[in-house]
Amino acid sequence: MIKKDLSVDFLGVHFENPFLLSSSPVGNCYEMCAKAFDEGWAGVAFKTIGPKHFKVDEVSPRFDELTKEGTPFVGFKNMEQIAEHPLEQNLHDLKKLKENYPTKIIIASIMGTNEQDWEELAQLVTEAKADMIEMNLSCPQMTSHDMGSDVGTNPELVKKYCAAVRRGSDLPILAKMTPNITDMVPAAKASMDGGADGIATINTVKSIANLDIDRKTALPTVDGKGSVSGFSGKAVKPIALRFIQQLREAAGMEQLPISGIGGIETWQDAAEFLLLGATTLQVTTSVMQYGYRIVEDMKNGLMHYMEEQGIDHLSEIIGAANKSIVPVDSLNRDYKVYPKIDWDKCIGCGRCYISCFDGAHQAIQWNEEARRPTVDIDKCVGCHLCNLVCPVGAISTGEVVMKPGREGNPEDIKIESPRLTHF
Amino acid sequence: MTKKYETEAPGYTMTTVMEEAARCLLCHDAPCSKACPADTDPARFIRSVRFNNVKGAAETIRENNALGAICARVCPTEKYCELACSRTGIDCPIDIGGIQRYVTDFEQAAKMDILKQGKSNGKHIAIVGSGPSGLQVATTMLTKGYAVDIYEKNEKAGGYLTYGIPEYRLPNDIVEYEIKRIINLGANIHYNTTVGDDIMMDDLKANNDAVVVAVGASESKVLPMFANNENVETAVGFLARVKEAKGNITDLPENAVVIGGGDVAMDVATTLRRLDVKNVTDMAYEEFDEFKASKKELKGTREAGVTIVDGYVPTAVNGNEVTFKHRHIDSEMTIKSNKIILAVGQRVNAANLNITIDKHEEVPYAGYGTADPKVFVTGDIAQGDKTVVWAVRKGKEVAEQIDKMIMDKDKEADLVGGNE
């Protein structure tokens, strides 16, 4: 079995690998975190601890899933709020985890309703020997408007509460941001100005995943009614990656320390977050679906990726993609690349023909007798929709041509690495 | 003409293997992983495929099994992992063998070298026979740091893998690749060397810390009534001849009768059909509800167009005419054919090896030891199943036993030394 050093240093804290449970139902008590640590997770953002006066009162049922054809859990909707256990119990669990797992990293997620709450909670979790504090400024389904994403979308409040936590603790502070905002940069900047050391993002996206079309309300249905609440899982990964890239490209935030969250379930997902600048990675939805064991393949797969990339430390790739992701107006528009059809692989289903005609530029000609597509290069714009819909990977990127009147050598153009990298 | 013989059924692609892996229920305490005689962990490697970690899947398979790519193709999974599969409660089991084949083919394409030779411990073992069990013993011992010499009577290594299982089921390239992997790990194979003839057991014992006899049941049995009949050929002889010639044999009959109901009989009958022999009849002692051949093999044989007649035993032979009688009903048939191939079991040739082989073609006791504390048995001649997956299991077990014996002896010697 391959062995590589997956450790990362983040906000002055050493993590044996980047994989953490995010603040959620998956890290809700001592027993859960202990099992996760035993299976290889490097740490946990313990389920958000709130002030004593805020009573958590949950609905039943509280989850829903988005499916597509036969695939479950494309996305996951949940209505849970913060930790249900009493404050004392949570603090006790944090302490016991640190005592019994001294090399694992305990991040205390906290959430208050005012400055006093935040400061007190920060003091309490610091006394409980947490390694780091994560401020939950982003839960979209709190029953109080003084909590969660209503706070996280207000930079002034964010700054004020970060300052309160800073007063209450000398631990590193992560501010967990909501994606329910057009631009995350002002809130992230406000948190750093207030005293946070890094950003955790994204929390869940406000959503209605499905309706109960007989009862005519959103799922899950609670006594005949539904609500907007947070969406997570694979479907939100693109949104998470986008926010992380936009944070890292904002002026002065190029080295922003980030704990990445949003639909991570494979080592490839993990590599993507790292390449965009996340140093640690937080996971919930795929653990809810598959269990803590998924960390084994994330770790092992990441080691193989490091081997392929010829690197010894993950720090060598953190943020490595930031600079090559540019505004759309900066992209090279001087060429197009035609699709190339591999006749040995083509099975004659005609899906490329349908998609090109109905969804693109009518550039695939269909031979009815032979049941084979050919590309009409006069009409083809090189969009590669055909490549994406082909069920057998018979279509790839082919010849590169410069557009009429444009300068450049087609051979210098860097086209995509093959989508099917294996065989 | 030999294309049908040489061509293996297509394997999964990256897309289709994911579709199959997505059918896996990723069970808690997965039953498939408890059902493999060789301790393969399908639940673990299928989960790795599911999460895009094919290299990790290859590690899981290879670290456990020196012949992972071979087992993927020839294991009767229907009796083990796939029988246990929970998916059966919905429709049909996961194609575990097929996924394993994808992963091990990937391992080869990616040129992965997963197993590493252990740091030398200065100990030597000799293995007699390079069939599947001998190869597994070699691999386990090499990873533990032993020097390993294998003595093979034939020109090529692999035993029945090389000379028996037909190309369409187990391509020779795969067998060669698996053996090359073991040679790269440090195995020293002496070809064309018969122990007891070219080199003596006593020499092996004198020059090694242990000797493992893994000779296998490499000769076909011949029923007395068929002795010295020029129309008769043995299954082992026929399969070896075809495989060595890559299907290019010239003396094919127009029609043939195969006698036997095990996997070897199925291989012979299917090979004949794939070489375009028009009429092939397989006469089996067992009735279908007690059939010995695996369901996969039986299905393939039927699809190849072989006529299979169950429940009959040969009672008389006259030149190329054989008369069969049903074991339970009053029925008799006589078939005249150009060729009669006997697949009625195999026997062990352990001449000059000082090993006692009983009428079941194995040692007359359980376990891997022999009367000589330095000599061990594995493979077909050790009691237990005779399939490749069992050969692997036995090879792993005997290797652990030998290692423990040698290491314990060393510890004892150290203690004695310390007292002096």
| Model pLDDT for residues B147-197, shown as the tens digit of each residue | 999 999 999 999 999 999 999 999 999 999 999 999 999 999 999 999 999
pLDDT in tens, A240-262: 999 999 999 999 999 999 999 99
Alpha-carbon B59 to chain mean position: 22
Interval B289-339: pLDDT, tens? 999 999 999 999 999 999 999 999 999 999 999 999 999 999 999 999 999
The tokens describing B392, both together, are 């692997």
List of residues 6+ apart from A298 with CB closer than 8 A: A19, A264, A265, A266, A267, A270, B51
Q: Which residue of A has its CA nearest to B48?
A: A297
Residues B376, B204: Cα–Cα separation, whole Å: 12
Give the Cβ contact number of residue A329 at 10 Å.
6
Closest by Cβ to A300, choosing from B53, B63, B105: B53
Q: Which of B310, B306, B303 is nearest to B289 (CA)?
A: B310
Nearest CA in chain A to B57: A297
The 3-state secondary structure of B222-290 reads: CCHHHCCCCCEEEHHHHHHHHHHCCCCCCCCCCEEEEECCCHHHHHHHHHHHHCCCCEEEEEECCCHHH
Chain A residues in contact with B46 (beta carbon < 8 A): none
The DSSP call for residue A198 is E
Point out which residues pair with B195 in neighbouring strands. Answer: B199
The Cα of A285 is separated from the nearest Cα of chain B by a number of Å equal to 14
Substitution target in B20, B47, B51 with the highest count of A β-carbons within 10 Å is B51
Structure-token pair, residue B261: 């109901």
Among candidates B409, B349, B335, which has minimal Cα distance to B373?
B409
Q: CB under 8 Å to A8, separation ≥6 — which residues?
A: A14, A15, A17, A18, A279, A280, A314, A315, A318
Instruction: Answer yes or no: do A1 and B59 touch at CB < 8 A.
Output: yes
Instruction: Name residue A230's beta-bridge partners.
Output: A78, A206
Interval A157-179 mean pLDDT:
97
| Interval A327-354: pLDDT, tens | 999 999 999 999 999 999 999 999 999 9
CATH of domain B219-345: 3.50.50.60
Is residue A422 very low, low, confident or very high in pLDDT (cuts 50, 70, 90)? very low
Token pair belonging to A225: 């009614």
d(CA A196, nearest CA chain B) in Å:
34
CA atoms of A194 and A177, how far apart (whole Å): 14
Domains of chain A: 8-324 (3.20.20.70), 332-412 (3.30.70.20)
For A264-325, what is the HEC assignment?
A: CCCHHHHHHHHHCCEEEEEECHHHHHHCCCHHHHHHHHHHHHHHHHCCCCHHHCCCCCHHHC
**Structure-block tokens of residue A261:** 């969250």
What are the residues whose beta carbons fall under 8 Å from the beta carbon of B207, sequence distance 6 or more? B124, B126
* Nearest-by-CA chain B residue for A392: B15
pLDDT greater than 60 at residue B418: no
User: Taking 70 as the threshold, does the pLDDT of residue A413 lie above it?
Assistant: yes
Name the residue facing B52 among A2, A301, A392 (closest C-beta): A301
pLDDT in tens, B362-388: 999 999 999 999 999 999 999 999 999
Kind of pairing between the strands at B219-220 and B346-347: antiparallel
Positions of CATH 1.10.1060.10 in chain B: 3-109
Q: Residue B344 above 60 pLDDT?
A: yes
CA distance A88 to A90: 5
Is residue A420's pLDDT more than 60? no
Cα R_g (chain A), whole angstroms: 24
By three-state DSSP, how is residue B368 classified?
Answer: coil
Contacts of B299 (CB under 8 A, 6+ apart): none
Q: Give the pLDDT confidence of B95-113 residue by residue, as tens digits.
A: 999 999 999 999 999 999 9
> CA-based angle B194:B348:B322, to the nearest 5?
125
Asked if pLDDT for residue A423 goes beyond 50, the answer is no
Answer yes or no: is pLDDT of A171 > 80.
yes
Across the interface, whether the CB atoms of B55 and A2 are under 8 A apart is answered yes
Encoded amino acid at B401, one letter = Q
pLDDT the model gives residue A292: 98
Q: Taking residues A321-330, report their average pLDDT.
A: 96
CA distance B140 to B117: 9
> Looking at the predicted structure, is the pLDDT value of residue B416 above 80?
no
Please write the tens of the pLDDT for every residue from A35-67: 999 999 999 999 999 999 998 999 999 999 999
- Cβ-Cβ contacts under 8 Å, A420 against chain B: 14-15
Cis peptide before B37 (omega within 30 of 0): no
Closest CA to A352 of A326, A330, A374, A368: A374
Confirm if A165 and A133 have CB atoms less than 8 A apart.
yes
Q: What is the mean pLDDT of chain B?
A: 95
CA proximity to A34, closest of A101, A99, A114, A129: A101
Residue B419 has pLDDT above 60, yes or no: no
Locate tokens 């030394």: which residue?
B417
**Do the chains contact at B22 and A392, CB–CB below 8 Å?**
no
Nearest CA in chain A to B116: A1
The pLDDT assigned to B1 comes to 53
**HEC sequence for B95-123:** CHHHHHHHHHHHHHHCCCCCCCCCCCCCC
Structure tokens that stand for A4 in this block? 């590589």
- d(CA A9, CA A23) in angstroms, rounded, equals 20
Residues of A with CB under 8 A from a CB of B: 1-2, 70-71, 265-268, 290, 293-294, 296-298, 300-301, 304, 391-393, 420, 422-423
Judge contact between B396 and B136, C-beta under 8 A: yes
> In this complex, do A266 and B51 lie within 8 Å of one another by their Cβ atoms?
yes
Tell me the pLDDT band of A144, cut-offs 50, 70 and 90: confident
- CATH 3.50.50.60 residue ranges of chain B are 124-216+348-419, 219-345
> Does the predicted interface ipTM exceed a cut of 0.90?
yes
- Chain A partners of B26 at a C-beta cutoff of 8 Å? 290
CA-to-CA distance for B157 and B182, rounded, in angstroms? 11
- Contact criterion met (CB < 8 Å) for B22 and A293: no
Q: How many cross-chain Cβ pairs, A to B, lie less than 8 Å apart?
A: 57
A139 catalytically annotated: yes
Please check the confidence at residue B20 and state whether its pLDDT lies above 70. yes
- Range from A242-251, B109-118, B212-221, B410-419 carrying the lowest mean pLDDT: B410-419
Selecting from 3.30.9.10, 1.10.1060.10, 1.20.1440.120, 1.20.1260.10, what CATH number does the domain B3-109 have? 1.10.1060.10
Instruction: Look at B56 and A300 and tell me if their CB atoms are within 8 Å.
Output: yes
Cβ–Cβ gap B51/A70 under 8 Å: no
Q: How far is CA A353 from the centre of its chain?
A: 34
Residue of B nearest to A286 (CA): B51
Q: How many other CB atoms sit within 10 Å of the CB of residue B113?
A: 10
Confidence of residue A421 (pLDDT cuts 50, 70, 90): very low
Architecture of domain B124-216+348-419: 3-Layer(bba) Sandwich (3.50)
Chain segment A274-312, per-residue pLDDT in tens: 999 999 999 999 999 999 999 999 999 999 999 999 999
Could you tell me the two tokens for A314?
């993950």
Over residues B228-251, the mean pLDDT reads 94
What distance in Å separates the CA atoms of residue A311 and residue A302, rounded to the nearest whole number? Answer: 11
Give the closest-approach CA distance of B104 to chain A in angstroms. Answer: 12
Confidence of residue B2 (pLDDT cuts 50, 70, 90): confident
> What pLDDT digit, counting tens, does each position of A82-92 carry?
988 999 999 99
Write out chain A residues lying below 8 Å of B63, CB-based.
Answer: 1
Residue of A139, A380, A386, A390 marked catalytic = A139
